[in-house]
Structure 1
Amino acid sequence: MIEITQVHASLDEAGDETACLAIGRRAVKRALRCEGSQIKAIELHRKSIDARKKLDVHFILSFRVELTSSRLEQELVGRVAERDRSRIRMVGGEAPSFPNPVPNAPKGRPVVVGAGCAGLFAALTLAEAGLKPLLIERGDPALRRSEAIDLFLKERTLDPESNIQFGLGGAGTFSDGKLNTGTKNPAHRLILETFVDAGSPRDILWDAKPHIGSDILPAVVTNISQRIEQLGGTVRYRTKLVNIRTDGSGAITGVDVQTPQETASETIATKHLILACGHSARDVFELLKKHNVALAQKTFAMGVRIEHPQRDIDRAQYGPSAGHPVLGAAPYKLVAHLPNGRSVFSFCMCPGGQVVAASSEQGHLCVNGASLNARDGRNANAALLVNVTPNDLPGDDPLAGIELQRACERAAYRLGGSNWNAPAQLVGDFLAGRASTAPGKVKPTYPLGVTWTAIDDTLPQHIVESLRLGIPLLGKKLRGYDRPDAVLTGVETRSSSPVTVTRDRTCHAASTPGLYPCGEGAGYAGGIMSAATDGIRCAEALIADL
């Protein structure tokens, strides 16, 4: 197979897949000097927007091409001029796949805890291998989870077990479904194809910044869970891990789980436990500490959500091309390195989205961001964060980061009015050190309402100081970013896990044989793609052990 990259195309001529493939066929015939009849297959491999020159915003495309024979491919690539060899090359044609069924699989099914992306893909990998995993999830399936979230928004009644954080699909289901990642792994293509087979739009296969959307993801993760069950696995909802069982050597022998209808726990025997509980399962980290599972403090980040009019972000990113129907809402990714030695950076940017209520504990308020597939909301929002390192934490308790998160969330809850309103402040007021009393032209999208105030007391001083230093610098990088009436909503505390569940290179917990710490909660992922990849990695490690 041949890959051809750096094919430029105007906005008007490369609107959809069909149009791009037509451009690709012409580019292939021109670059390889071949006939159309020699092209056996062609696929759009990547499509990105080049907006470096605002007067010439265009697409850059790459294609994977299969000719009528591998010998012909080698011959034609060998004739390519030296100047073009960096963008025209042979690539492996074998696609990644799930493992084949394990022969003579031992008795006793593996257990996966957590049905976020890491747990879903771990369970799917085990199911594809014929191991009939048991996947337990403390929250609800997607439809009932959406109903629980709607109840919270309408009646301010939080369900601690089924919310933005917990339930089928994990936190990623209601945070836009962004699939871009800074890492490279052969499993990424397999993950994207799995999402498409489960109902995601096909454009995630080639979009340089793919996303699914929080309106589509519930159906997608439901289809993946049904695939696990079709392969012989079992998915149990409203089933909470309350204890782990070990033998004299410390090895896993089983788990205790409990449902809301039961007063007593149920013991499930297993020698293999993939723990993909997510970064908000704070009770699970406390349980691991109680059982002397090796834990360590980890750098994480906290801050606020910042909102701007999406049309202003579009103009800043795309210039005169802003509003072109094939471009959609513009994203951004920003970082500023500060004179105090720290950095402030954007994270989980949601074009055309809204700030969402992401709390999972009574009396603890935190926010996140989400957008639908169309990304057609009036505002852009993103987390604006500063790192918290182990040096910023008191003592060496591995759960000290969790306690700091909780303290900030309690402060935000009180400052908002102790009624799930979120504390909010205008950028201009924040930079001037005064409380806000009303919005400007930018209207906040947090669905439960905001309380205008000063947010300083909700975050550690080094974060407040860094945000004040960083926002003006980011305004120099993206025009209008520091506009005085942009809205800051607090607090964003769940961007990443503050804990690492220590494991070795083969995914085994350092202190507990049979335990595979997995995904974002365990400290080994930072988004949907990396979490899904780690789920596959841990499942493959378990299969190798068998």
Structure 2
Amino acid sequence: MLRLTDVHLPLDHPDSDLPAAILARLKIDAGELVGYTVFRRGYDARRKNAIMLVYTLDVTVRDEAAVLTRLQGVPHIGITPDMEYKFVARATASIAARPDAARPVIIGFGPCGIFAALILAQMGFKPIILERGKVVRERTKDTWGLWRKRDLNPESNVQFGEGGAGTFSDGKLHSGIKDPKHYSRKVLTEFVKHYAPEEILYVSKPHIGTFRLVKMVEAMRETIEALGGEFRFQAKVTDLDIDDAQGGKQIRGVVLENGEHIATEHVVLAVGHSARDTFQMLFDRGVYIEAKPFSIGFRIEHPQSLIDRARFGKFAGHPLLGAADYKLVHHCKNGRAVYSFCMCPGGTVVAATSEPGRVVTNGMSQYSRNERNANSGFVVGIDPKDFGGDKHPLAGIEFQRELESRAFVMGGSNYDAPGQLVGDFLAGKPSKEFGSVLPSYKPGVHLTDLAPALPAYAIEAMREAIPAFDRQIKGYAMRDAVLTGVETRTSSPVRIKRLDNFQSLNTKGLFPAGEGAGYAGGILSAAVDGIKVAEAVALSMVGSTDIHGGTVGGAQIY
């Protein structure tokens, strides 16, 4: 097939325009066109009064070679790449029968753990998956317990449980990662097989939303089980069995909170960015870990209609465009970068704490994105020197806890979040009552002065950034827009460094993975990292780094 990129057509073009555009681009007659599919559809909204759809198309013609020869050197025309996923290794019966072939263990069942488990299961390695939280539907009930009744379950909440933190989010499935092996396509294809909407395969900014994610995660668990994977929920790992008698650390197993020991020499650590007790355990056991940069700030809410008008003008509300999003960044005079984070069109701000006596915010949308407000993280980048991470690798965790505890008190010590109107935040005075924008955060928002919630350098930078953002999104600085604090879980505060073979820098058999280990930032990138780590585990188990064919150590290598 041929791939045509950068095909621009008007927003409301008739269906007949697509084949006509293909014929014009390839300079062929209608009889030479066999068929086409839409690989990607995005939009160009730089000119609000003339928004264009932008297509990438895969096209079949009668004489592909002749067309390519005739159009050699013409931009935006080429061969459709092979994007089918190729397994690195597949376990055979001889591996499964070996007495020393302990099964791989995956700790955590968020996006990274899901795909590590799925790929290993599809390769025949029958992983054991340990998840400290509950199955997704029970976890959902517990999460609503905090939002509706102020009842926090520290082991079953927005952060912990089947599906990971991404379950309670906008469900964004786009990323800026480099992906030469097209792992992202494998992720999206598997999601569609498990009840995600088919459009995520071709829209430029795919998303799923929380309710659909729940059903999808359940279906993926069932597939992994059918392939021999074993799940244990409410199975918290509290220690690693590490053998360092030979002068180098080697994983020999994991220890659960109930004292059970599971023998294994291959552990995928996919715990997410909030597993603070696990990070402490790793540090205590001597696994190499270091502090890394992250960001802190608030959530900001505007009317979704305001964002739609600012981005789409007269086309606001068009069904092909949906609820508008934005992506903003401002480099401040004090050297700080302020940016929008995890923007949720037509969504809600949610309580995302996992520890008693602390308040954390995050954003969430359903697939429809039809709530009244738009919300986004409004955050400031910080680095380890800001919080003492240059002196202790876990200092970022303590810094997060300090800000979250402060927010809990500022909100009234009952899991309400502290909030402030943007106009009052810029003026440096506490807010007394809401205006036209009502906050979506549950259990509730207590109006106050947010300046004490964050370090002075962050507040200074954010006050500078708001007018700058208003020049890009007209109305961003509206007085009644609501800030809700605090946003501290933007990414992991640590990195568990790994070698080129994806194993820990100093602990053989431990495979740090995903967002918690500092190697991903969102559902798609975490899932892709899960695939890469699963491949590395498989190669380690069969004792080969050859991925180009043949049979090594009883395993077929692909």
TM-score range, shorter chain: over 0.9
Residue 39 of structure 1, CA deviation: 4.0
CA contact (8 A) 1:310 1:351 kept: yes
**Structure 2 runs not aligned, ≥5 long:** 542-558
The residue number in structure 1 matching 2:193 is: 197
The answer as to 2:423 corresponding to 1:428 is yes
CA contact (8 A) 2:108 2:270 kept: yes
The answer as to 2:162 corresponding to 1:171 is no
The residue number in structure 1 matching 2:550 is: none
**Cα distance in structure 2, aligned partners of 1:183 and 1:532:** 12
The answer as to 2:171 corresponding to 1:180 is no
Q: Which amino acid aligns with 2:356?
A: Q
CA contact (8 A) 2:48 2:314 kept: yes
Residue 150 of structure 1, CA deviation: 1.7
The answer as to 2:327 corresponding to 1:328 is no
Residue 29 of structure 1, CA deviation: 2.5
SS of aligned partner of 1:55: helix
The residue number in structure 2 matching 1:261 is: none
CA contact (8 A) 1:99 1:125 kept: no
**Cα distance in structure 1, aligned partners of 2:111 and 2:87:** 16
**Cα distance in structure 2, aligned partners of 1:515 and 1:111:** 10
The residue number in structure 1 matching 2:9 is: 9
**Cα distance in structure 2, aligned partners of 1:120 and 1:39:** 41
CA contact (8 A) 2:89 2:538 kept: no
The answer as to 2:64 corresponding to 1:73 is yes
**Cα distance in structure 1, aligned partners of 2:523 and 2:360:** 20
**Cα distance in structure 1, aligned partners of 2:540 and 2:252:** 16
The residue number in structure 1 matching 2:255 is: 256
The residue number in structure 2 matching 1:33 is: 27
Q: Which amino acid aligns with 2:368?
A: A
Kindly provide the CA deviation profile for residues 336-372 of structure 1, in whole angstroms up to 9, marking residues without a partner as x.
Answer: 1111111100010000000001010000110100111
**Cα distance in structure 1, aligned partners of 2:464 and 2:266:** 48
Q: Which amino acid aligns with 1:79?
A: R
Residue 38 of structure 1, CA deviation: 4.3
The answer as to 2:38 corresponding to 1:44 is yes
Q: Which amino acid aligns with 1:443?
A: L
Residue 168 of structure 1, CA deviation: 1.0
The answer as to 2:91 corresponding to 1:102 is yes
How many pairs does the alignment contain?
530
Q: Which amino acid aligns with 2:435?
A: G
The residue number in structure 2 matching 1:218 is: 214
Q: Which amino acid aligns with 1:283?
A: D
Change (3 A) 1:94 1:49: closer
The answer as to 2:48 corresponding to 1:57 is no
Kindly provide the CA deviation profile for residues 399-445 of structure 1, in whole angstroms up to 9, marking residues without a partner as x.
Answer: 00010000000000011001010000011111111111111111100
CA contact (8 A) 1:441 1:485 kept: yes
Residue 238 of structure 1, CA deviation: 0.8
The answer as to 2:345 corresponding to 1:346 is no
Q: Which amino acid aligns with 1:312?
A: L
The residue number in structure 1 matching 2:76 is: 87
Q: Which amino acid aligns with 1:76?
A: V
SS of aligned partner of 1:410: helix
CA contact (8 A) 1:518 1:534 kept: yes
Kindly provide the CA deviation profile for residues 94-126 of structure 1, in whole angstroms up to 9, marking residues without a partner as x.
Answer: 522444522332521000000000011001111
**Cα distance in structure 1, aligned partners of 2:17 and 2:194:** 29
Q: Which amino acid aligns with 1:490?
A: G
SS of aligned partner of 2:210: coil
Q: Which amino acid aligns with 1:13?
A: H
The residue number in structure 2 matching 1:511 is: 506
- The within-5 A match list for 1:131-170 is 131-170=125-164
CA contact (8 A) 1:244 1:255 kept: yes
**Cα distance in structure 2, aligned partners of 1:293 and 1:37:** 64
Q: Which amino acid aligns with 1:255?
A: V
Residue 28 of structure 1, CA deviation: 2.3
**Cα distance in structure 2, aligned partners of 1:77 and 1:61:** 20
**Cα distance in structure 1, aligned partners of 2:343 and 2:163:** 19
SS of aligned partner of 2:396: helix
Kindly provide the CA deviation profile for residues 505-530 of structure 1, in whole angstroms up to 9, marking residues without a partner as x.
Answer: 22110110000000000000011111
The residue number in structure 2 matching 1:307 is: 301
Change (3 A) 1:23 1:142: farther
**Runs of 4 or more consecutive aligned structure 1 residues displaced over 3 Å after TM superposition:** 33-41, 97-100
SS of aligned partner of 1:251: strand
**Cα distance in structure 2, aligned partners of 1:347 and 1:153:** 22
Change (3 A) 1:111 1:473: same
The answer as to 2:439 corresponding to 1:444 is yes
Of the three residues 403, 409, 412, the one matched with 1:414 is 409
CA contact (8 A) 2:380 2:462 kept: yes
Root mean square deviation, CA, Å: 1.4
The residue number in structure 1 matching 2:457 is: 462
Kindly provide the CA deviation profile for residues 209-241 of structure 1, in whole angstroms up to 9, marking residues without a partner as x.
Answer: 110111210111111111111110011111101
The residue number in structure 2 matching 1:283 is: 277
Residue 543 of structure 1, CA deviation: 1.0
**Cα distance in structure 1, aligned partners of 2:108 and 2:32:** 49
Residue 504 of structure 1, CA deviation: 1.0
Q: Which amino acid aligns with 1:91?
A: T
CA contact (8 A) 2:88 2:539 kept: no
SS of aligned partner of 1:305: strand
**Cα distance in structure 1, aligned partners of 2:387 and 2:360:** 20
Q: Which amino acid aligns with 1:374?
A: S
**Cα distance in structure 1, aligned partners of 2:178 and 2:137:** 33
Which segment is superposed worse, 386-395 or 296-305? 386-395
Kindly provide the CA deviation profile for residues 40-62 of structure 1, in whole angstroms up to 9, marking residues without a partner as x.
Answer: 44221111111111110121111
The residue number in structure 2 matching 1:236 is: 232
The TM-score with structure 2 as length reference comes to 0.93
**Structure 1 runs not aligned, ≥5 long:** 259-263
**Cα distance in structure 2, aligned partners of 1:141 and 1:378:** 30
The TM-score with structure 1 as length reference comes to 0.95
CA contact (8 A) 1:97 1:190 kept: no
The answer as to 2:529 corresponding to 1:534 is yes
SS of aligned partner of 1:109: coil
**Cα distance in structure 1, aligned partners of 2:31 and 2:521:** 45
The residue number in structure 2 matching 1:487 is: 482
SS of aligned partner of 2:60: strand
Which segment is superposed worse, 462-471 or 269-278? 462-471
CA contact (8 A) 1:412 1:423 kept: yes
Of the three residues 399, 403, 408, the one matched with 2:394 is 399
Q: Which amino acid aligns with 2:529?
A: D
The residue number in structure 1 matching 2:466 is: 471
SS of aligned partner of 2:348: strand
Q: Which amino acid aligns with 1:253?
A: R
Residue 178 of structure 1, CA deviation: 0.4
SS of aligned partner of 1:380: strand
**Cα distance in structure 1, aligned partners of 2:65 and 2:408:** 64
